Chain A
Protein backbone atom coordinates (compact mmCIF):
# COMPACT_ATOMS: atom_id res chain seq x y z
CA UNK A 1 0.00 0.00 0.00
CA UNK A 2 2.72 2.44 1.03
CA UNK A 3 4.80 1.11 -1.82
CA UNK A 4 2.09 1.80 -4.37
CA UNK A 5 1.35 5.24 -2.85
CA UNK A 6 5.03 6.04 -3.31
CA UNK A 7 5.02 4.80 -6.90
CA UNK A 8 1.93 6.74 -7.95
CA UNK A 9 2.24 9.95 -6.00
CA UNK A 10 5.85 10.63 -5.00
CA UNK A 11 7.73 9.28 -7.98
CA UNK A 12 7.95 11.87 -10.72
CA UNK A 13 6.71 14.37 -8.14
CA UNK A 14 3.15 13.74 -9.17
CA UNK A 15 1.90 14.90 -5.76
CA UNK A 16 2.79 18.41 -6.92
CA UNK A 17 -0.12 18.16 -9.34
CA UNK A 18 -2.47 17.39 -6.46
CA UNK A 19 -1.13 20.33 -4.48
CA UNK A 20 -1.52 22.64 -7.47
CA UNK A 21 -5.05 21.34 -7.96
CA UNK A 22 -5.79 21.85 -4.29
CA UNK A 23 -4.53 25.42 -4.57
CA UNK A 24 -6.84 26.05 -7.54
CA UNK A 25 -9.78 24.46 -5.73
CA UNK A 26 -9.27 26.61 -2.65
CA UNK A 27 -8.61 29.75 -4.70
CA UNK A 28 -11.81 29.32 -6.70
CA UNK A 29 -13.90 28.46 -3.66
CA UNK A 30 -12.62 31.32 -1.49
CA UNK A 31 -12.83 33.99 -4.20
CA UNK A 32 -16.24 32.72 -5.28
CA UNK A 33 -17.69 32.76 -1.77
CA UNK A 34 -16.47 36.34 -1.33
CA UNK A 35 -18.04 37.43 -4.62
CA UNK A 36 -21.13 35.39 -3.82
CA UNK A 37 -21.51 36.89 -0.37
CA UNK A 38 -21.23 40.48 -1.57
CA UNK A 39 -23.56 39.80 -4.47
CA UNK A 40 -25.94 37.92 -2.21
CA UNK A 41 -26.15 40.83 0.23
CA UNK A 42 -26.94 43.29 -2.54
CA UNK A 43 -29.47 41.07 -4.29
CA UNK A 44 -31.16 40.04 -1.03
CA UNK A 45 -31.69 43.71 -0.17
CA UNK A 46 -33.05 44.22 -3.69
CA UNK A 47 -35.45 41.33 -3.25
CA UNK A 48 -36.91 42.75 -0.05
CA UNK A 49 -36.98 46.35 -1.27
CA UNK A 50 -40.11 48.38 -1.98
CA UNK A 51 -39.16 48.85 -5.61
CA UNK A 52 -40.84 46.38 -7.88
CA UNK A 53 -38.13 46.78 -10.52
CA UNK A 54 -35.37 45.82 -8.08
CA UNK A 55 -37.39 42.85 -6.86
CA UNK A 56 -37.95 41.62 -10.39
CA UNK A 57 -34.26 41.92 -11.23
CA UNK A 58 -33.35 39.99 -8.10
CA UNK A 59 -35.87 37.27 -8.79
CA UNK A 60 -34.83 36.97 -12.42
CA UNK A 61 -31.19 36.59 -11.40
CA UNK A 62 -31.75 33.91 -8.80
CA UNK A 63 -34.22 32.00 -10.96
CA UNK A 64 -31.86 31.76 -13.93
CA UNK A 65 -28.65 31.05 -12.04
CA UNK A 66 -30.20 28.51 -9.71
CA UNK A 67 -32.16 26.92 -12.51
CA UNK A 68 -29.26 25.85 -14.71
CA UNK A 69 -26.69 23.11 -14.06
CA UNK A 70 -23.37 24.54 -12.97
CA UNK A 71 -21.37 22.84 -15.73
CA UNK A 72 -23.67 24.38 -18.33
CA UNK A 73 -23.30 27.82 -16.78
CA UNK A 74 -19.56 27.45 -16.60
CA UNK A 75 -19.33 26.71 -20.32
CA UNK A 76 -21.76 29.48 -21.22
CA UNK A 77 -19.65 31.97 -19.26
CA UNK A 78 -16.41 30.71 -20.76
CA UNK A 79 -17.39 30.15 -24.38
CA UNK A 80 -20.05 32.85 -24.76
CA UNK A 81 -20.34 35.57 -22.11
CA UNK A 82 -16.69 36.21 -21.37
CA UNK A 83 -15.34 34.89 -24.69
CA UNK A 84 -14.82 38.32 -26.28
CA UNK A 85 -12.70 39.43 -23.30
CA UNK A 86 -10.17 36.59 -23.61
CA UNK A 87 -9.89 36.27 -19.85
CA UNK A 88 -7.73 33.57 -18.25
CA UNK A 89 -9.64 30.35 -17.61
CA UNK A 90 -9.07 30.50 -13.88
CA UNK A 91 -10.52 34.00 -13.67
CA UNK A 92 -13.57 32.94 -15.67
CA UNK A 93 -14.03 30.00 -13.33
CA UNK A 94 -13.83 32.27 -10.28
CA UNK A 95 -16.34 34.71 -11.80
CA UNK A 96 -18.71 31.96 -12.87
CA UNK A 97 -18.65 30.26 -9.49
CA UNK A 98 -18.98 33.63 -7.75
CA UNK A 99 -21.97 34.69 -9.84
CA UNK A 100 -23.59 31.32 -9.29
CA UNK A 101 -22.92 31.33 -5.57
CA UNK A 102 -24.35 34.85 -5.44
CA UNK A 103 -27.73 33.47 -6.46
CA UNK A 104 -27.69 30.89 -3.68
CA UNK A 105 -26.41 33.40 -1.11
CA UNK A 106 -29.22 35.75 -2.12
CA UNK A 107 -31.83 33.17 -1.27
CA UNK A 108 -30.07 32.22 1.97
CA UNK A 109 -29.86 35.83 3.11
CA UNK A 110 -33.37 36.71 1.97
CA UNK A 111 -34.82 33.77 3.88
CA UNK A 112 -32.75 34.77 6.92
CA UNK A 113 -33.98 38.35 6.84
CA UNK A 114 -37.59 37.39 6.29
CA UNK A 115 -37.31 34.74 9.00
CA UNK A 116 -36.79 37.38 11.67
CA UNK A 117 -40.06 37.90 13.54
CA UNK A 118 -42.19 40.77 12.18
CA UNK A 119 -42.56 42.04 15.72
CA UNK A 120 -38.88 42.99 15.69
CA UNK A 121 -39.44 45.38 12.78
CA UNK A 122 -42.55 46.77 14.43
CA UNK A 123 -40.73 47.33 17.72
CA UNK A 124 -37.89 49.12 15.93
CA UNK A 125 -40.20 51.29 13.86
CA UNK A 126 -42.44 52.10 16.85
CA UNK A 127 -39.39 53.56 18.61
CA UNK A 128 -38.93 55.95 15.70
CA UNK A 129 -36.09 54.13 13.95
CA UNK A 130 -36.18 54.43 10.17
CA UNK A 131 -36.59 51.44 7.93
CA UNK A 132 -32.87 51.38 7.23
CA UNK A 133 -31.85 51.76 10.86
CA UNK A 134 -34.21 48.96 11.83
CA UNK A 135 -32.77 46.75 9.11
CA UNK A 136 -29.14 47.29 10.04
CA UNK A 137 -29.39 47.51 13.83
CA UNK A 138 -32.11 44.98 14.52
CA UNK A 139 -32.90 42.68 11.62
CA UNK A 140 -29.53 41.93 10.00
CA UNK A 141 -27.67 41.01 13.21
CA UNK A 142 -30.36 38.46 13.97
CA UNK A 143 -30.55 37.22 10.39
CA UNK A 144 -26.76 36.74 10.29
CA UNK A 145 -26.95 34.36 13.18
CA UNK A 146 -29.83 32.45 11.67
CA UNK A 147 -28.21 31.96 8.25
CA UNK A 148 -24.84 30.75 9.48
CA UNK A 149 -25.59 27.00 9.18
CA UNK A 150 -27.01 27.28 5.64
CA UNK A 151 -24.23 29.66 4.68
CA UNK A 152 -21.66 27.09 5.83
CA UNK A 153 -23.22 24.41 3.71
CA UNK A 154 -23.22 26.76 0.72
CA UNK A 155 -19.47 27.18 1.15
CA UNK A 156 -19.02 23.42 1.40
CA UNK A 157 -21.14 22.80 -1.68
CA UNK A 158 -19.01 25.36 -3.48
CA UNK A 159 -15.77 23.58 -2.61
CA UNK A 160 -17.15 20.32 -3.92
CA UNK A 161 -18.57 21.90 -7.07
CA UNK A 162 -15.18 23.27 -8.08
CA UNK A 163 -14.64 19.74 -9.33
CA UNK A 164 -16.55 20.54 -12.50
CA UNK A 165 -14.15 23.37 -13.37
CA UNK A 166 -12.39 20.90 -15.64
CA UNK A 167 -15.24 21.45 -18.10
CA UNK A 168 -13.36 24.58 -19.15
CA UNK A 169 -9.97 22.88 -18.71
CA UNK A 170 -9.14 24.42 -15.36
CA UNK A 171 -7.01 21.98 -13.40
CA UNK A 172 -8.61 21.72 -9.99
CA UNK A 173 -7.82 18.93 -7.55
CA UNK A 174 -10.18 16.37 -9.05
CA UNK A 175 -8.72 16.99 -12.48
CA UNK A 176 -5.22 16.60 -11.04
CA UNK A 177 -6.17 13.28 -9.48
CA UNK A 178 -7.67 12.17 -12.77
CA UNK A 179 -4.52 13.09 -14.65
CA UNK A 180 -2.42 11.01 -12.29
CA UNK A 181 -4.86 8.12 -12.72
CA UNK A 182 -4.42 8.42 -16.48
CA UNK A 183 -0.66 8.40 -16.44
CA UNK A 184 -0.17 5.69 -13.77
CA UNK A 185 -3.15 3.45 -14.54
CA UNK A 186 -3.79 3.46 -10.80
CA UNK A 187 -7.24 4.81 -9.97
CA UNK A 188 -7.29 4.04 -6.27
CA UNK A 189 -4.44 6.08 -4.90
CA UNK A 190 -4.95 9.46 -6.62
CA UNK A 191 -8.71 9.53 -6.38
CA UNK A 192 -8.81 8.42 -2.76
CA UNK A 193 -6.15 11.00 -1.95
CA UNK A 194 -8.42 13.65 -3.44
CA UNK A 195 -11.39 12.27 -1.52
CA UNK A 196 -9.53 12.42 1.78
CA UNK A 197 -8.40 16.00 1.15
CA UNK A 198 -11.96 17.09 0.25
CA UNK A 199 -13.21 15.50 3.46
CA UNK A 200 -10.55 17.24 5.53
CA UNK A 201 -11.52 20.56 3.92
CA UNK A 202 -15.24 20.18 4.42
CA UNK A 203 -14.99 18.75 7.93
CA UNK A 204 -12.56 21.48 8.92
CA UNK A 205 -14.91 24.16 7.62
CA UNK A 206 -17.87 22.64 9.41
CA UNK A 207 -15.87 22.71 12.62
CA UNK A 208 -14.73 26.31 12.19
CA UNK A 209 -18.22 27.62 11.41
CA UNK A 210 -19.70 25.43 14.14
CA UNK A 211 -17.36 27.24 16.52
CA UNK A 212 -18.68 30.62 15.30
CA UNK A 213 -22.21 29.46 15.85
CA UNK A 214 -21.50 28.34 19.39
CA UNK A 215 -19.81 31.60 20.23
CA UNK A 216 -22.73 33.60 18.84
CA UNK A 217 -25.27 31.49 20.74
CA UNK A 218 -23.32 32.02 23.94
CA UNK A 219 -23.69 35.78 23.65
CA UNK A 220 -27.38 35.44 24.38
CA UNK A 221 -26.98 33.81 27.73
Chain B
Protein backbone atom coordinates (compact mmCIF):
# COMPACT_ATOMS: atom_id res chain seq x y z
CA UNK B 1 0.00 0.00 0.00
CA UNK B 2 3.06 2.17 0.13
CA UNK B 3 2.29 3.77 -3.19
CA UNK B 4 -1.36 4.42 -2.49
CA UNK B 5 -2.12 8.10 -2.91
CA UNK B 6 -3.67 9.36 0.30
CA UNK B 7 -4.05 13.04 -0.52
CA UNK B 8 -4.21 14.49 -3.99
CA UNK B 9 -4.06 18.26 -4.30
CA UNK B 10 -4.79 19.74 -7.73
CA UNK B 11 -4.44 23.39 -8.62
CA UNK B 12 -5.29 24.51 -5.10
CA UNK B 13 -5.99 28.19 -4.82
CA UNK B 14 -6.68 30.41 -1.84
CA UNK B 15 -7.41 34.11 -1.93
CA UNK B 16 -8.44 36.03 1.17
CA UNK B 17 -11.50 38.24 0.77
CA UNK B 18 -11.08 38.40 -2.96
CA UNK B 19 -7.72 40.03 -2.48
CA UNK B 20 -4.22 38.76 -3.07
CA UNK B 21 -3.71 35.09 -3.83
CA UNK B 22 -2.01 33.43 -0.87
CA UNK B 23 -1.88 30.16 -2.76
CA UNK B 24 -1.96 30.54 -6.53
CA UNK B 25 -1.60 27.00 -7.87
CA UNK B 26 -0.51 24.06 -5.77
CA UNK B 27 -0.61 20.47 -6.98
CA UNK B 28 0.89 17.51 -5.20
CA UNK B 29 0.24 13.82 -4.57
CA UNK B 30 0.95 12.55 -1.09
CA UNK B 31 1.35 8.80 -0.63
CA UNK B 32 0.34 6.88 2.45
CA UNK B 33 3.18 6.80 4.95
CA UNK B 34 5.03 9.68 3.36
CA UNK B 35 6.64 12.36 5.53
CA UNK B 36 6.46 15.75 3.92
CA UNK B 37 8.09 18.80 5.38
CA UNK B 38 6.98 22.18 4.11
CA UNK B 39 9.37 25.08 4.35
CA UNK B 40 9.38 28.62 3.08
CA UNK B 41 9.64 32.24 4.18
CA UNK B 42 6.95 33.57 6.52
CA UNK B 43 3.81 34.65 4.70
CA UNK B 44 4.54 32.30 1.80
CA UNK B 45 1.31 30.39 2.39
CA UNK B 46 2.69 27.19 3.90
CA UNK B 47 0.36 27.26 6.92
CA UNK B 48 -2.57 28.22 4.72
CA UNK B 49 -1.79 25.23 2.48
CA UNK B 50 -1.88 22.91 5.50
CA UNK B 51 -5.10 24.44 6.82
CA UNK B 52 -6.77 24.08 3.43
CA UNK B 53 -6.26 20.32 3.56
CA UNK B 54 -8.64 19.91 6.51
CA UNK B 55 -10.57 22.97 5.41
CA UNK B 56 -9.94 25.14 8.41
CA UNK B 57 -9.40 27.53 5.53
CA UNK B 58 -11.84 27.31 2.64
CA UNK B 59 -9.96 26.88 -0.64
CA UNK B 60 -11.12 29.29 -3.34
CA UNK B 61 -10.12 27.05 -6.21
CA UNK B 62 -8.85 23.61 -7.16
CA UNK B 63 -9.59 20.29 -5.49
CA UNK B 64 -8.24 18.20 -2.64
CA UNK B 65 -8.97 14.49 -2.60
CA UNK B 66 -8.47 12.61 0.65
CA UNK B 67 -8.78 8.81 0.56
CA UNK B 68 -10.70 9.13 -2.67
CA UNK B 69 -13.14 11.72 -1.33
CA UNK B 70 -13.18 15.22 -2.79
CA UNK B 71 -13.09 17.23 0.45
CA UNK B 72 -13.49 20.52 -1.41
CA UNK B 73 -16.98 19.42 -2.42
CA UNK B 74 -19.39 21.39 -0.27
CA UNK B 75 -21.68 18.36 0.06
CA UNK B 76 -19.02 16.29 1.78
CA UNK B 77 -19.45 15.86 5.53
CA UNK B 78 -16.20 17.49 6.53
CA UNK B 79 -16.56 16.54 10.20
CA UNK B 80 -16.34 12.90 9.17
CA UNK B 81 -13.21 13.54 7.07
CA UNK B 82 -11.56 15.56 9.82
CA UNK B 83 -11.86 12.64 12.20
CA UNK B 84 -9.19 10.97 10.08
CA UNK B 85 -6.92 14.04 9.84
CA UNK B 86 -5.14 15.00 13.03
CA UNK B 87 -3.86 18.52 13.41
CA UNK B 88 -1.31 19.99 15.78
CA UNK B 89 -1.20 23.75 16.20
CA UNK B 90 1.56 26.20 16.97
CA UNK B 91 -0.22 27.29 20.15
CA UNK B 92 -1.26 23.79 21.26
CA UNK B 93 -4.93 24.78 21.74
CA UNK B 94 -5.50 22.32 24.55
CA UNK B 95 -8.90 22.67 26.21
CA UNK B 96 -8.11 24.55 29.45
CA UNK B 97 -11.35 23.61 31.22
CA UNK B 98 -10.68 19.88 30.89
CA UNK B 99 -8.10 17.60 32.46
CA UNK B 100 -5.45 16.03 30.26
CA UNK B 101 -7.39 12.77 30.13
CA UNK B 102 -10.61 14.61 29.29
CA UNK B 103 -8.75 16.45 26.53
CA UNK B 104 -7.90 13.07 25.01
CA UNK B 105 -11.29 11.44 25.41
CA UNK B 106 -13.58 14.36 24.53
CA UNK B 107 -13.68 13.82 20.77
CA UNK B 108 -13.78 9.98 20.63
CA UNK B 109 -16.49 9.85 23.31
CA UNK B 110 -18.57 12.78 22.03
CA UNK B 111 -18.50 11.32 18.53
CA UNK B 112 -19.52 7.94 19.97
CA UNK B 113 -16.53 6.21 18.41
CA UNK B 114 -15.50 4.80 21.75
CA UNK B 115 -17.01 4.29 25.18
CA UNK B 116 -15.61 6.35 28.01
CA UNK B 117 -13.65 3.33 29.34
CA UNK B 118 -12.19 2.38 25.96
CA UNK B 119 -11.18 5.97 25.29
CA UNK B 120 -9.54 6.25 28.70
CA UNK B 121 -7.61 3.04 28.19
CA UNK B 122 -6.34 4.18 24.81
CA UNK B 123 -5.61 7.62 26.24
CA UNK B 124 -3.57 6.10 29.03
CA UNK B 125 -1.54 3.98 26.60
CA UNK B 126 -0.85 7.03 24.45
CA UNK B 127 0.15 9.12 27.46
CA UNK B 128 2.55 6.40 28.52
CA UNK B 129 4.20 6.51 25.12
CA UNK B 130 5.04 10.19 25.60
CA UNK B 131 5.88 9.72 29.28
CA UNK B 132 3.08 11.91 30.62
CA UNK B 133 0.72 9.36 32.15
CA UNK B 134 1.23 10.94 35.59
CA UNK B 135 -0.35 14.17 34.27
CA UNK B 136 -3.68 12.64 33.26
CA UNK B 137 -5.70 14.29 36.02
CA UNK B 138 -3.92 17.63 35.79
CA UNK B 139 -5.19 20.67 33.91
CA UNK B 140 -3.27 22.06 30.91
CA UNK B 141 -2.32 25.27 32.76
CA UNK B 142 -0.01 23.24 34.98
CA UNK B 143 2.09 21.91 32.10
CA UNK B 144 5.14 23.31 30.34
CA UNK B 145 4.94 24.24 26.67
CA UNK B 146 6.71 21.07 25.58
CA UNK B 147 4.40 18.93 27.66
CA UNK B 148 1.35 20.75 26.27
CA UNK B 149 2.43 20.11 22.70
CA UNK B 150 3.10 16.43 23.39
CA UNK B 151 -0.41 16.21 24.85
CA UNK B 152 -1.82 18.00 21.81
CA UNK B 153 -0.17 15.42 19.54
CA UNK B 154 -1.55 12.61 21.65
CA UNK B 155 -5.01 14.20 21.62
CA UNK B 156 -5.01 14.00 17.82
CA UNK B 157 -3.66 10.44 17.88
CA UNK B 158 -6.51 9.39 20.15
CA UNK B 159 -8.74 9.74 17.09
CA UNK B 160 -6.52 7.22 15.27
CA UNK B 161 -6.06 9.47 12.21
CA UNK B 162 -4.69 8.44 8.83
CA UNK B 163 -2.66 11.61 8.45
CA UNK B 164 -1.20 14.15 10.86
CA UNK B 165 -0.87 17.81 9.98
CA UNK B 166 1.64 19.80 12.00
CA UNK B 167 1.43 23.59 11.79
CA UNK B 168 4.72 24.93 13.17
CA UNK B 169 4.51 22.66 16.21
CA UNK B 170 7.70 23.92 17.85
CA UNK B 171 7.59 27.63 16.98
CA UNK B 172 5.98 28.70 20.25
CA UNK B 173 8.28 26.64 22.45
CA UNK B 174 11.28 27.62 24.51
CA UNK B 175 14.40 26.22 22.82
CA UNK B 176 15.05 23.60 25.50
CA UNK B 177 11.61 22.08 24.90
CA UNK B 178 11.82 21.72 21.14
CA UNK B 179 13.68 18.42 21.36
CA UNK B 180 11.09 16.54 23.38
CA UNK B 181 8.35 17.44 20.88
CA UNK B 182 10.48 16.58 17.86
CA UNK B 183 11.30 13.22 19.43
CA UNK B 184 7.62 12.37 19.71
CA UNK B 185 7.19 13.35 16.06
CA UNK B 186 10.16 11.23 15.03
CA UNK B 187 8.70 8.21 16.84
CA UNK B 188 5.45 8.79 15.04
CA UNK B 189 7.29 8.94 11.72
CA UNK B 190 9.00 5.63 12.47
CA UNK B 191 5.63 4.03 13.09
CA UNK B 192 4.69 4.85 9.53
CA UNK B 193 2.27 7.74 10.08
CA UNK B 194 1.65 9.96 7.07
CA UNK B 195 2.82 13.40 8.13
CA UNK B 196 2.73 16.91 6.73
CA UNK B 197 4.87 19.23 8.78
CA UNK B 198 5.26 22.97 8.43
CA UNK B 199 8.38 23.83 10.37
CA UNK B 200 11.55 25.86 10.61
CA UNK B 201 13.43 22.95 12.18
CA UNK B 202 15.80 22.08 9.36
CA UNK B 203 17.47 19.34 11.38
CA UNK B 204 14.13 17.58 11.68
CA UNK B 205 13.43 18.08 7.97
CA UNK B 206 16.79 16.61 7.02
CA UNK B 207 16.34 13.60 9.30
CA UNK B 208 12.70 12.70 8.85
CA UNK B 209 11.41 14.05 5.54
CA UNK B 210 10.90 11.84 2.52
CA UNK B 211 10.22 14.95 0.56
CA UNK B 212 10.59 18.64 1.27
CA UNK B 213 8.39 21.26 -0.36
CA UNK B 214 9.71 24.77 -0.65
CA UNK B 215 6.75 27.10 -1.01
CA UNK B 216 7.31 30.62 -2.22
CA UNK B 217 4.82 33.16 -3.53
CA UNK B 218 1.91 30.74 -3.29
CA UNK B 219 3.41 27.98 -5.41
CA UNK B 220 5.67 24.99 -4.78
CA UNK B 221 8.85 26.59 -6.00
CA UNK B 222 10.93 23.47 -5.55
CA UNK B 223 10.59 20.01 -4.09
CA UNK B 224 12.85 17.07 -3.49
CA UNK B 225 14.60 14.83 -1.00
CA UNK B 226 16.45 16.49 1.89
CA UNK B 227 19.69 15.89 0.02
CA UNK B 228 18.38 17.58 -3.13
CA UNK B 229 16.92 20.52 -1.24
CA UNK B 230 19.75 21.21 1.16
CA UNK B 231 22.78 20.17 -0.88
CA UNK B 232 21.69 20.86 -4.44
CA UNK B 233 19.10 23.65 -4.40
CA UNK B 234 18.10 24.61 -7.93
CA UNK B 235 16.24 27.90 -7.67
CA UNK B 236 17.78 31.16 -6.62
CA UNK B 237 14.99 31.77 -4.09
CA UNK B 238 15.60 28.49 -2.30
CA UNK B 239 19.33 29.22 -2.17
CA UNK B 240 18.62 32.62 -0.64
CA UNK B 241 16.14 31.14 1.82
CA UNK B 242 18.61 28.47 2.95
CA UNK B 243 21.39 31.02 3.28
CA UNK B 244 19.17 33.15 5.49
CA UNK B 245 18.14 30.40 7.89
CA UNK B 246 21.12 28.05 8.10
Whether the Cβ atoms of B110 and A220 lie closer than 8 Å is no
Cα–Cα, bound, A141→B110 (Å): 15
In the assembled complex, which residues on chain A have CB atoms less than 8 Å from the CB atom of B2? none
Given A122-B56, A221-B142, do A127 and B159 touch, yes or no (CB 8 Å)? yes
Q: In residues 125-165 of chain A, which contact B (Cβ within 8 Å)?
A: 125-130, 133, 137-138, 141-142, 145
Chain A residue at minimum C-beta to C-beta distance from B106: A137
Cβ contacts under 8 Å, A88 to chain B:
none
With contacts A220-B141, A221-B142 taken as known, whether A128 is within 8 angstroms of B111 at the C-beta atoms is yes
- Identify which of B91, B139, B152, B159 contacts A221 (C-beta below 8 A): B139
Q: Mark B112-152, 1 if CB is under 8 A from A, else 0.
A: 00000000000000000000000000010110000000001
Tell me which of A120, A129, A142 contacts B111 (CB under 8 A): A129
Q: Is there a chain B Cβ closer than 8 Å to A51's Cβ? A: no
Min CB–CB distance B39 → chain A (angstroms): 22
Q: Which residues of chain A come closer than 8 Å to B139, judged between CB atoms?
A: 219-221
Taking a contact as CB atoms closer than 8 A, the residue among B96, B97, B107, B142 that contacts A127 in the complex is: B107
Rounded to whole Å, the gap between the CB of B93 and the closest CB of chain A is 4
CA distance A123 to B149 in the complex (A): 13
Q: How large is the interface on A (under 10, 10 to 19, 20 to 34, 35 or more residues)?
A: 20 to 34
Contact A123 B79 (CB under 8 A): no
Among B79, B97, B111, B155, residue most surrounded by chain A Cβ atoms (within 10 Å): B97
Chain B positions within 8 Å of A141 at CB level: 97
A12 contacts the other chain (CB 8 A)? no
Please tell me if the beta carbons of A137 and B142 are within 8 angstroms of each other in the complex. no
Judging by beta carbons under 8 Å apart, are B95 and A127 in contact?
no
Contact assessment for A123 and B159 in the assembled complex, using a CB-CB cutoff below 8 Å: no
Q: Kindly list chain B residues whose C-beta atoms are within 8 Å of the C-beta of A138.
A: 95, 106
Q: How far is the CA of A141 from the CA of B89 in the complex (A)?
A: 21
Least CB distance from B7 to A in Å reads: 15
Q: A122-B89, A127-B156 are in contact. Are A220 and B82 (CB under 8 A)?
A: no
Listed from nearest, the 8 A-B pairs whose CB atoms lie closest are: A128-B83, A123-B93, A127-B107, A119-B93, A126-B87, A128-B82, A220-B139, A141-B97
Q: List 18 A-B contacts (CB under 8 A).
A: A117-B93, A119-B89, A119-B91, A122-B89, A123-B94, A124-B107, A127-B86, A127-B156, A128-B80, A128-B84, A128-B107, A128-B159, A129-B107, A129-B110, A129-B111, A137-B110, A145-B97, A220-B97
* New A-B pairs, 10, CB < 8 Å, besides A127-B107, A138-B95, A221-B142: A124-B107, A126-B86, A127-B83, A127-B155, A128-B80, A128-B82, A128-B107, A137-B106, A142-B95, A220-B96
List residues of A whose CB falls within 8 A of some B CB. 117, 119-120, 122-130, 133, 137-138, 141-142, 145, 219-221
